[in-house]
Amino acid sequence: MKYELVVGLETHVELATKTKIFCSCANDFGASPNTHCCPICIGHPGTLPKINREVVNLAIKAGLATNCTINFRSKMDRKNYVYPDLAKAYQISQYDLPICKNGYIELSSGKKIRINRIHMEEDAGKLAYKPSEIYIDYNRGGVPLIEIVTEPDISSSEEAKEYVEKLQNILRYAGVSDCKMQEGSMRCDVNISVKPFGSNSLGTRTEIKNMNSVTFMTKAIDYEYERQIDVLEDGGKVVQQTLRYNESKSSTESMREKEDAHDYRYFGDPDLVEIILSSEDVEKIKKSLPEMPESRFKRYTETLGISEADADLLTKYKNVADFFEAASKEIKSPKIVSNFIIGEIFRSIETESEKENFDISITPVQLEELVKLVELNKINMNLAKKTLAKMLKTGKGVGEFISESDMQGISKEEVERLCKDAVKNNESAVKDYVSGKEKALKAILGSVMRQTKGRGNAQEIEKKLVELIKNT
């Protein structure tokens, strides 16, 4: 029998606030254990939480950026469970009245992955496992989260990967979160089931918890898909359970039976008032959103003449797109700026994290000055690339490396003389070119460019060489 994969994602995203959701403790990653927590975080008797307004604003931003409807009335609820990293024995979350609902993210195929809801909640602490000992760090407890829950619309690991990467990019653009999966500020719970091909009935689902790598997430989905099919083909039944992904074994392992909502005994938190919003509140936040990556991609390809592949690379990182925009303001050919960023600048950056930060030594204005010299035909592309490499190493502007004489170019008469000499002195290469060996012309061109010390226009020189060879 042929089976279809059905996947829904629950993505937890830590919000980019200065303080936690219900207290004034710092929301910083990497601090010494248990240094950013207080009686409110840990739930000491007599303490009262107070919601951070910026958490609400960022949750609304996330909803607007993902095409959600914003609920003007929502509330916080208590989700009751016992675990060592949850000192209060309950988590403050949202249940029946979430802040956002009914959104979507559109994939490159045109398929829309529906978002059922986005709700706010607090993060739990973190357990550190060592031989025969478990340590608890409550720094993460009370860090503000949003949970973004999709409908079961994802039907392959490739779609899951694209959805998560698009969501990550959208939230970064909106300023909602840095979404650094390696630091845990974006984590996915993956709900997986299989069903007979063409069936409208969903199978029993399992949930893989806390995936903090897109690569491992896709591997986990593919493994669990095959595992569930094997269980069904052997005449067994898939058990509803919570799983973890074992990276070293590339397999899923059971953690516990899967809980349902009623197991958590949700009820409205008595210490927190309802959240009431006005249309003016939401409109103000909507106006504060920057242009989203999808809109920029469309503008770059349709208006600026950037190829889809290049536009995809530029918009993948907000800081790169912002740099491109700033460097292209007064430029007639933004494609040149794009080529320099994707070519020379990206070659000087090794990791994805560095591209994301895009903390390079030159400013957009410095790159703009270099590109203007190319547009005005004062320097050729070869010299511009060499100059940019020096600028990136030193942080100095174009004026430090290109003199007035460099920008004077060479006369047509000088070009013709050098080309004639090159044809005369490279008889063997000329014969090879005439016989059909195109590469031979590049060798002759190279000798002329060396004579011009890079100041000549390669296209014009090549054209002149072809003309002279044909008339020889």
Indicate the residue among 233, 263, 284 that finishes a domain: 284
Calpha distance 154→190 (Å, rounded): 11
Q: Are residues 260 and 200 in the same domain?
A: yes
What residue numbers bound the domain in which 336 lies? 291-408
Report CA dihedral (103, 274, 266, 184) to the nearest 10 degrees: 60
Contacts of 147 (CB under 8 A, 6+ apart): 10, 11, 12, 13, 93, 118, 119, 121
Same domain, 262 and 346: no
What amino acid is encoded at 111 in this protein? Answer: K
Question: Going residue by residue through the chain (472 aa), what tens digit of pLDDT does each one get?
Answer: 899 999 999 999 999 999 999 999 999 988 999 999 999 999 899 999 999 999 999 999 999 999 999 999 999 999 999 989 999 999 999 999 999 999 999 999 999 999 999 999 999 999 988 888 999 999 999 999 999 999 999 999 999 999 999 999 999 999 999 999 988 899 999 999 999 988 888 899 999 998 999 999 999 999 999 999 999 999 999 999 999 999 888 899 888 776 676 788 999 999 999 999 999 999 999 999 999 999 999 999 999 999 999 999 999 999 999 999 999 999 999 999 999 999 999 999 878 888 888 999 999 999 999 999 888 878 888 889 989 999 999 999 988 888 665 655 666 777 788 888 888 888 888 888 888 888 888 888 888 877 776 667 777 788 888 888 877 7
Q: Are 261 and 136 in a shared domain?
A: yes
Q: Specify the CATH number for the domain of residue 429.
A: 1.10.10.410
Residues 264 and 344 in one domain: no
Q: Which residues pair with 128 in a beta bridge?
A: 135
Same domain membership, residue 195 and residue 135: yes
Q: What is the dihedral of CA 403, 406, 411, 413, to 10 degrees?
A: 120
Q: Say which amino acid occupies 292.
A: M
Residue 22 shares a structural domain with residue 80? yes
Q: How many domains does the chain have?
A: 3
Length of the chain: 472
d(CA 187, CA 167): 12
Do 338 and 388 fall within a single domain? yes
Whole-model pTM? 0.83
| SS3 sequence of 408-454 | HCCCHHHHHHHHHHHHHHCHHHHHHHHCCCCHHHHHHHHHHHHHHCC
Please tell me whether residues 255 and 138 are part of one structural domain.
yes
Same domain, 243 and 110: yes
If asked whether residues 150 and 262 sit together in one domain, one would say: yes
- Please choose, from the candidates 153, 162, 94, the residue with its C-alpha nearest in 3D space to the C-alpha of residue 122: 94
Q: What is the pLDDT of residue 411?
A: 67
Q: In whole angstroms, what is the distance from residue 424 CA to residue 156 CA?
A: 63
Whole-angstrom Cα distance, residue 62 to residue 50? 21
Q: Which of 408, 426, 445 is the last residue of a domain?
A: 408
E strand spans, 275-319: 275-276
Contact 80, 265 (CB under 8 A): yes
With CA atoms as reference, report the closest residue to 91 among 120, 69, 113. 120
Closest CA to 194 of 156, 149, 251: 156
Are the C-beta atoms of 68 and 103 separated by less than 8 Å? yes
Do residues 271 and 134 share a domain? yes
Select from 354, 380, 408 the last residue of a domain.
Answer: 408
My answer on whether 100 and 30 are in the same domain is: yes
Q: What is the DSSP secondary structure assignment for residue 31, as one 8-state letter?
A: P
Whole-number pLDDT of residue 454: 63
| CA 346/CA 344 separation, integer angstroms | 6
